Chains A and B, each alone.
Chain A
Amino acid sequence: MNAWIQAIINVFVNPIFYKSTLNQSTPLILAALGGVYSETTGVVNIALEGIMLIGAFGGVVGSYFTGNPWYGLALGVLLGVSMAALHAWASIRYAGDQIISGAALILLAQGITGFSLVELFGKPGSTDLVRSIPLVNLGSFGNVPFFGKIFNSLSPLVYIAFASVAFSWFLIYKTRLGLRMRSVGNNPEAADTLGVNVYNVRYFGVLMSGVFAALGGAFLSIGELGQFTENMSNGRGFIALAAMIIGNWSPTGAMWAAILFGAASAFNDQLQSQGILHLAINTQYLFGMIPYIITLIVVGGLVGKSRAPSADGIPYIKD
Chain B
Amino acid sequence: MNGLKKFYMNDKIVVPVFAVITSLFIAAIVMIMIGKNPLMAYGALIFGAFGTKGALINNLMKTTPLILTGLSVGLGFRAGLFNIGANGQLIIGALLSTYVGSKMIAYPFYLSIPLMLVTGMIGGALWAAIAGWLKVARGAHEVITTIMLNYIAVFIANYVVNGPFQAPGGVPKSPEIAYSARLPILATSGATWLSAGIFVALAAVVVVYILVEKTKLGYEVKAVGFNPYAAEYGGISIGKNVVMAMAISGALAGLAGTMQVMGVYYRYLGALGGSMGFDGITIALIGQNDPIGIAFAAFLISSIRAGSNQMQIAGVSKNIVIIIQGIIIFLVAANRLVKTFMFWKRKEVEGA
Contact = CB atoms under 8 A, between A and B. Distances in A.
Interface residues of B, number: 47
Contacts of A106: 326
Given A295-B148, A296-B149, A299-B134, A115 B322 contact: yes
Contact of B336 (A46, A96, A99): A96
B330 interface: yes
Interface string B318-352: 01111111111110111111001000000000000
Nearest to B134: A300
B155 A104 contact: no
Interface in A108-145: 108-112, 114-115, 117-119, 124
A227 interface: no
A56 B323 CA distance: 18
Looking at A90, A95, A104, A117, which has the most chain B CB atoms within 10 Å of its CB?
A104
Given A99-B82, A289-B156, A90 B140 contact: no
Contacts of B151: 235, 289, 292
Interface in B129-157: 134, 138-141, 143-145, 147-149, 151-152, 155-156
Nearest to A49: B147
B285 interface: yes
A245 B145 CA distance: 13
B147 A235 contact: yes
B322 A292 contact: no
Contacts, number: 147
Contacts of A89: 334
| Residue of B134, B140, B333 with highest tally of chain A CB at under 10 A | B333
B162 A104 contact: no
> What is the interface of chain B mostly: helix, strand, loop, or mixed?
helix
B147 A289 contact: no
Given A100-B332, A282-B159, A292-B152, A107 B140 contact: no
A13 B97 CA distance: 45
25 contacts: A90-B330, A93-B337, A94-B337, A96-B333, A97-B333, A100-B285, A100-B332, A103-B281, A103-B329, A104-B327, A104-B332, A107-B322, A108-B326, A109-B326, A111-B321, A111-B322, A115-B323, A238-B148, A242-B148, A283-B159, A285-B162, A295-B144, A295-B148, A300-B134, A303-B138
Given A97-B333, A111-B324, 7 more contacts: A96-B337, A100-B82, A101-B330, A103-B278, A105-B326, A107-B282, A111-B321
Interface of B: 30, 34, 82, 84, 134, 138-141, 143-145, 147-149, 151-152, 155-156, 158-159, 162-163, 278, 281-282, 285, 317, 319-330, 332-337, 340
